[in-house]
Amino acid sequence: MKSPLLRLLTSPRGIAVLAALGLAGALAGLTACSEKVFAAAEGKTRIVFIAGKKSHPSGQHEFNAGAILLTRALNEQSGLPIEVKVVHNGWPEDESVFEGAKAVVIYSDGNASHPANGNEAKIEAMLAKGVGLMCMHYAVEVPKGEQGERFKKWIGGHYESGYSTNPHWTAEVEIKKDHPISRGVPGFSANDEWYYNMRFADPKTAEDIVTGVPTREKINRYIHWTPDGEKGLGKRQTMMWAVERPDGGRGIGFTGGHWHRNWAVDDFRKLVLNAILWTAGVEVPEGGVESLPVTEEQLNENLDPKDKMEHVALPSKADLTQPAAEPVEFRWPGKK
């Protein structure tokens, strides 16, 4: 959207005047920054959403399609002064997109495919200015050591291979009631690849926002199963956490987001929308972020092209009552 001044300057008459004054060359730069300038003039909070490259089979890790659904909810349905810009398929080529941003959300694969790789100094510089950072699902996984220490500082913790675990299970989600992220979300049940047993900073800086209790009966698939994951059965585990950093910025880690269908679970979606707002330093409305129900047609829009495409159905009760998987041996990448 252009401001009235920019519309005048880019009109045929305006261009002629600029040319006569020898200023036509400045017009391209003025036009390029117009959206950001006008958004700032309107008092909108700018958020950048980095969606990762295509990953798992169809209907899973749909980073691009999921980012579009969440962005549409914030930009078009929430009624809030928010401007979310989606960057598709990894780190942006044009880094000017970060100018004026109050938060960055990363929803992508992690480890070797993490968009943060090679961009740590740029992220560090943004966060030092108080920019918020939220990482979703696989984007909370980075190697222990230098990168893990960064994530403990940036968002309070991370998934650590061999320590954390990632079964598919049905969680009866409990939300910290006195935190703004909980507003309008009474709790819900969802089947997801809920990672748990995160490696947090020591001493712990993060606050548990979403928790659930995994049991053998609730787990319908084991993937990377660890001794610490097994010790965590029957105990309350953290699936979303929040931190307020000394630099004034905020950090969030969220382990759900594997199944694209879950964006049609109203409370699941509201929880994440609330968290995005909080990360950007925006006051979460008393009833939470409002958005329209997601239809089955919308779930199947913008899916990444895969060799075998699957139709994504709306969530059902059957998702929550899947039979328990048989226990497996301990296994994870690099296990000897």
Residues 197/166, Cβ–Cβ less than 8 Å = no
H, E, C per residue of 8-36: HHCCHHHHHHHHHCCCCHHHHHHHHCHHH
| pLDDT for residue 336 | 75
pLDDT tens-digit map of 284-328 = 999 999 999 999 999 999 999 999 999 999 999 999 999 999 999
| pLDDT for residue 38 | 44
Q: What is the C-alpha R_g of the chain?
A: 21
Pairing of strands 250-254, 199-200: unpaired
- Tallying the residues shown for the chain, one arrives at 336
What are the domain boundaries of the chain? 1-42, 43-320
Instruction: Tell me the β-bridge partners of 172.
Output: 189
The single-letter code of the amino acid at 93 is E
DSSP reduced 3-state for 159: strand
For the chain, what is the mean pLDDT?
A: 92
Pairing of strands 250-254, 82-87: unpaired
Nearest to 104 by CA among 159, 36, 45: 45
List, for the chain, all residue ranges whose pLDDT scores fall below the cut of 50.
Answer: 1-10, 17-18, 26-27, 29-32, 34, 37-38, 41
Pairing of strands 101-107, 132-136: parallel
**Helical ranges in 79-220 per DSSP H:** 120-128, 146-154
Q: How many CB atoms lie within 10 A of CB 47?
A: 26
Whole-model pTM: value is 0.89
Cis peptide before 327 (omega within 30 of 0): no
Q: Which CATH superfamily is domain 43-320 in?
A: Class I glutamine amidotransferase (GATase) domain (3.40.50.880)
Integer Cα distance of 279 and 128 in angstroms: 14
Residues 45/83, Cβ–Cβ less than 8 Å = yes
| pLDDT for residue 144 | 97
Integer Cα distance of 302 and 321 in angstroms: 29
| pLDDT for residue 69 | 99
The single-letter code of the amino acid at 216 is R
pLDDT tens-digit map of 144-162 = 999 999 999 999 999 999 9
| pLDDT for residue 11 | 52
The DSSP annotation for 29-86 comes to HHHHTHHHHHHHHTTPEEEEEEEPPP-SSTTBS-HHHHHHHHHHIIIIIS-SSEEEEE
The CA-CA-CA angle for residues 105, 222, 210, to 5°, reads 40
Integer Cα distance of 219 and 204 in angstroms: 27
